[in-house]
Amino acid sequence: MRIERLTARPDDVASALTRTALAFGALDQQLRRHPLREAVLFRARLEAARQCAAVDGFLIDPWQLAASLEGLRPRIRGHDVYERGSEVDALRYAFEQYQWLARASVSQEERIAEALSCAALPVGRLGVLWGSALAFREWIEGGEERAPFRGALVRLWQKEGVFGGLYPVTGAAAFRTGSSWDERRWLPTWLGALEREAAGIRDMVHTLERSWRDARAQAGDQRRNSKAALAIDIIAAHPVISATTLAARLSVSVQAACVLLERFVKRGLVVDVTRRSARRLFALKDLAPLREAVGVREKWAPGRKRGRPRLGENADPIVLDVDPAEGLFHRWEPDYARLEDAMAEAERLCLASGIYGN
């Protein structure tokens, strides 16, 4: 007896479609031409990569991923080799998810184009939200990975005019363990996940706006021709920024930009996220967790070359077995006497047991 699959009906998804469409419209209106748009998208992509990696079984600290993206060395906190290796593997997987969403490679773009072609017919027939949901299900049921279609969704939203940019909204939470795969239940679940992701990005915008306003207010007690307030605007608009970039945007010398940044750091408005003395990167104080996720480079000790053991008060001296008279290392000569005795005893036992006779 053949059992027909119960497909979703308009009544099953109408309410979820409406809420998701409203959430998408509000987010697009809020971020369109927003001065902090790039900083918001940077945070949103970190969170999206973290969620995608989490539902696929890899838990990461998003600030470690941020450190890797900015060319910094992330701090690996594992207690032993196994934990550190697992953390590195999870970080690598999250970086790949970030690539699918924001910086796809050539091979990834080919897979994304394939996913977009699979979604073209359902989207044209049922609309962008419902059609992409059905196309996502068909993609997964065909044995494909989730990551290519996630990247396709980010581009589909922009292509269909839902968002004015590559917004990382993929509904990753709909793939959590325990979620029903029944079409009539999963489609509203996925649409609800999209709605919550859009709402989360809106909350992120409000948080960054408050931090921006507070920093601008505290940096305003300057001379009339001071560029401190404008510098705060530029810093807030970038995820992280260097003194050279800030100087170019302000049309001032690098030295003047460094003076401003040091003043902001002392006031607690800006943090240095690199933990180093050269090629420093700065951001508003909300990115303080990024500083904690950056590993500290070991300082060079005079008299110690690369690869040598650390110098310390309790370090044991290295003693070499050298003949003072000859000035040469003693050559090691193996002693096979015990091995020969063992082989003779084994041969005697074999003869006694009659093994050779058989």
CATH code of 255's domain: 1.10.10.10
Which of 118, 124, 125, 171 minimizes the C-alpha distance to 141?
118
Q: How many domains does the chain have?
A: 3
Interhelix angle 183-218/128-141, nearest 10 degrees = 120
Same domain, 50 and 138: yes
Residuewise pLDDT in 10s, the chain (358 residues): 333 445 777 777 889 999 999 999 999 999 998 999 999 999 999 999 999 999 999 998 888 888 888 878 888 877 778 888 888 899 999 999 999 999 999 999 999 999 999 999 999 999 999 999 999 999 999 999 999 999 999 999 999 999 999 999 999 999 998 889 988 899 999 999 999 999 999 999 999 999 899 888 887 655 666 788 888 999 888 888 888 999 998 989 999 999 999 989 988 888 888 877 677 888 888 877 777 777 665 555 555 555 555 555 455 444 444 454 544 445 567 777 888 888 888 888 877 776 655 5
**Domain residues for 104?**
10-206
Same domain, 185 and 241: no
Which of 297, 295, 298 minimizes the C-alpha distance to 61?
295
Same domain, 55 and 198: yes
pLDDT tens-digit series, residues 211-255:
899 888 887 655 666 788 888 999 888 888 888 999 998 989 999
The answer to whether position 301 is within a domain reads no
User: Who's near 268: CB < 8 A, 6+ residues apart?
Assistant: 285
